[in-house]
Structure 1
Amino acid sequence: MTSIRKKLVTDVQANKVTYGKGNVKKYIVVHETDNTRSGADADAHARLQSNGNSRSASWHYTVDDKEAVQSFEHVWRCWAAGSNKGNNEGIQVEICVNADGNYLKAMQNAAELVAKIMKDEGISIGNVVQHNHFSGKNCPRNMREGKISWSQFITMIKNASGDVQQPAPIADNNKYRVLTGTYATKQAAENTQDVLKHRFGWVAYIEPDGAKWRVKTGTFTGMATAQAGANKIKTAKLAQVANVVAA
C-alpha cells in the first residue's frame, strides 16, 4: 500500500474553499491535476492547499508516484467535481501528471488509495467515477485519452482491493470408482477388500480378471474425490496400482 501522509488544511481555510462539513461520501471522484510542470507532485499540491489556494478549488487527496497526501478529512465537501452532487457526495482524488514523475506508478498508487477509501467508507466499485461523470469536463484527461484506460484503472483498483473475480469452479458430479491392479490369489484380494470395508468404511467388491483378481470400490462423486481415494489405497500399500474409472 502506498504511504498516506496527512497535511490537513486548517478549518479556517477549509471554510473558504469548501461547502463545509457534511459530505455524504457516496462516491470517489477521480481527477488528474493536468499540471505537467516538473516538481508538481503530491507534496507541492498539498502545500498549495495548506498555504491557501488562490483558486476556488479544493480536493481531499493528491497522489503521485511516491505517496498520497491528504489535505481534507472525508467529511468536508470539497470544490472539485463541478456539480453540487459531486461536491456534496464525493471524496476527491487528484492524480499527479508532473513530467518528472512516473505516471504508471502514480496510477498504481492511486488505485491502492481508492481501494483503501472504498474499504474505509463502504463505497462500491460502481461509485468510483471520473470527474467527467458530474461535470462533463475532460478529466482525468490522460486516462480518457487511453494512456491508461479507465477500465484498466478499475482493474487495478480491484487487484489492490483483492476484489478480482475468480472463475467459479466447475462442479464435477460424475461418479467414479477406483479399480486396483491384479492380485495373484483371491485371498490377497479379499484382504484388501476387508481393509477398505472395515478400516476405510468403503463399499468394495472383488472381480475376477482372468486367473487373477482385482478389487473395485463403490462410487465416488467427482474425479478429485476418486483420485484421493486411489492415493489413499496406494499410500496404505494395499495395491501398487489404483486407477480411477467411470462408474
Structure 2
Amino acid sequence: MMVATRQKLLTDSQANKVTYGKGNAKKYIVVHETDNTRSGADADAHARLQYNGNSRSASWHYTVDDKEAVQSFEHTWKCWAAGSNTGNNEGIQIEVCVNSDGNYQKAMQNAAELVAKVMKEENIPITNVVQHNHFSGKNCPRNMREGKISWTQFLVMVANCTGNAEQQKPVTDNNKYRVMTGTYSTLQAAENVLDVLKHRFGWVAYIEQDGTKWRVKTGTFIGMAAAQAGANKIKTAKLAQVANTVAA
C-alpha cells in the first residue's frame, strides 16, 4: 500500500518568497533528513512550519514521517534545499523526519514509496535519486549516511516499490564502472586498503601512483548502482573518506 499523501500547499505569493519561482526541470529527486529529533517534529509540523511562514531561508516539496507524506509545493517550484543551483532548479526535494517519537524505519519505507511515486509521475530514473550530499557535500541525510539504513538499502526499497521495470534502470544498466579512492600519503596506507578490498571484500583492485601519493582503484562493476554501492561500502568501512565512481 502506498504511503498516504496529502497537500498543504503554500500560496503563490508565499512560495515566491522562499523559492526561485516556477520552472523546475524535475530531473532529480533529492533526499534529505530534517535533522530535527524533537518529539512531535513530524511531517505535519514541518508542513505547518512552511505554510505559516518559515523564518529560515529554506523550502522543500514534501515532508514524510512514519504516518504520512505532506506536500508543500507543486513540483514545478524551484525550492531552496539542495545547496546548489542545479540541485534547487532541477530537483524535487523530500525531507524525511527523524523525530524521537517516530519510527525511523517506517519513515524511510514511506519515503521510498513516495520517491517511487514521484519517479513514476515525473519519469525520473532511479539513477537520478540522490542525497542532498550529492549537490552540496553536506552530511545529509545524516542517519542514512551513517548507515542506520544505508543508501544502497534505500535504493533497493525504492526499486521494490516501483513495480515498473523501466524505472529500475540499475538492473538494466550494463555500462562498466570502477571505484577510485582519494589519495594516500604513503604506499603502505594504500596497500592496507588494497589488502582489505582483495581479501575481505573479494574484489579485484590495484594501486595507482598519483604524483607523490597513491590511490586504490577497483576492478569493474556492471551498472552505476553496483559501483555506488561499492563506493559506499569503502566509505562505510572507513577505508577512504573519498570514493568516486568512474567509467571503466
- Indicate the TM-score class for this superposition, using the shorter chain for normalisation: 0.5 to 0.7
Amino acid at match of 1:59: W
Distance in 2 between residues matched to 1:116 and 1:9, nearest whole Å: 21
Q: 1:163 Cα shift?
A: 4.8
Q: Residue 57 of structure 2 aligns to a residue in which SS? A: coil
Query: What residue in structure 2 maps to residue 20 of structure 1?
Result: 21
Query: What residue in structure 1 maps to residue 149 of structure 2?
Result: 148
TM-superposition CA deviations, 1:109-128 (whole Å, max 9, x none) = 00000000000000000000
Q: Residue 159 of structure 1 aligns to a residue in which SS? A: helix
Q: What does 1:206-217 correspond to in 2, within 5 Å?
A: none
Moved over 6 A (4+): none
Query: What residue in structure 2 maps to residue 82 of structure 1?
Result: 83
Amino acid at match of 1:148: I
Amino acid at match of 2:132: H
Q: 1:162 Cα shift?
A: 1.9
Query: What residue in structure 2 maps to residue 139 of structure 1?
Result: 140
TM-score by length of structure 2 reads: 0.66
Distance in 2 between residues matched to 1:128 and 1:147, nearest whole Å: 19
Query: What residue in structure 2 maps to residue 10 of structure 1?
Result: 11
Q: What does 1:105-120 correspond to in 2, within 5 Å?
A: 105-120=106-121
Distance in 2 between residues matched to 1:163 and 1:155, nearest whole Å: 13
TM-superposition CA deviations, 1:157-197 (whole Å, max 9, x none) = 001112577x9xxxxxxxxxxxxxxxxxxxxxxxxxxxxxx
Distance in 2 between residues matched to 1:2 and 1:17, nearest whole Å: 27
Query: What residue in structure 2 maps to residue 93 of structure 1?
Result: 94
Q: Residue 156 of structure 1 aligns to a residue in which SS? A: helix
Distance in 2 between residues matched to 1:79 and 1:65, nearest whole Å: 24
Q: Residue 137 of structure 1 aligns to a residue in which SS? A: coil
TM-superposition CA deviations, 1:39-75 (whole Å, max 9, x none) = 0000000000000000000000000000000000000
CA-based RMSD of the aligned residues comes to 1.5
TM-score by length of structure 1 reads: 0.66
Structure 2, unmatched stretches of 5+, are 172-248
Distance in 2 between residues matched to 1:106 and 1:11, nearest whole Å: 29
Distance in 2 between residues matched to 1:30 and 1:12, nearest whole Å: 26
Q: What does 1:38-187 correspond to in 2, within 5 Å?
A: 38-163=39-164
Amino acid at match of 1:162: G
TM-superposition CA deviations, 1:70-89 (whole Å, max 9, x none) = 00000000000000000000
Distance in 1 between residues matched to 2:77 and 2:159, nearest whole Å: 26
Higher Cα radius of gyration: 1
Q: Residue 20 of structure 2 aligns to a residue in which SS? A: strand
Distance in 1 between residues matched to 2:27 and 2:84, nearest whole Å: 14
Amino acid at match of 1:139: C
Q: Residue 58 of structure 1 aligns to a residue in which SS? A: coil
Aligned residues: 167
Amino acid at match of 1:142: N
Q: Residue 139 of structure 2 aligns to a residue in which SS? A: coil
Amino acid at match of 1:37: R
Distance in 2 between residues matched to 1:65 and 1:162, nearest whole Å: 22
Structure 1, unmatched stretches of 5+, are 168-247
Q: 1:141 Cα shift?
A: 0.1
